[in-house]
Amino acid sequence: MMCDICGSDNVIIRQITRAYGKGEDLLVIENIPILSCPDCGESYFTAQTLHEIERIKRQRKSLAVERPVEVASFAQ
């Protein structure tokens, strides 16, 4: 796979977890594929992945499983 930023052919696909929203509206999506280039250091989603994230967010009531999550605040 080729990097859209620098053109390198060393791009790898990693799986990440992202949180969207906060409080009662918090949604955590696991196993999101992200393209990562070790040559230029950029990481980015494909358009297809972004569309799927938006679909999951819209249909969260039917797709999400409720689980308890510990939340900490970073304070200085």
- Residue 69: pLDDT band by 50, 70, 90 thresholds? confident
Buried b (16+ CB within 10 A) or exposed e, 38-73: eeeeeeebeeeeeeebeebeeeeeeeeeeeeeeeee
Distance CA 18, CA 10 (A): 24
Residue 75 lies in a domain: no
Distance CA 31, CA 38 (A): 20
Residue 6 lies in a domain: no
Q: Which domain holds residue 48?
A: 12-63
- Residue 73: pLDDT band by 50, 70, 90 thresholds? confident
Give the model confidence (pLDDT) of 2-49 as tens digits: 999 999 999 999 999 999 998 889 999 999 999 999 999 999 999 999
Which pLDDT value is given to residue 14?
97
Residue 39 lies in a domain: yes
Number of domains in the chain: 1
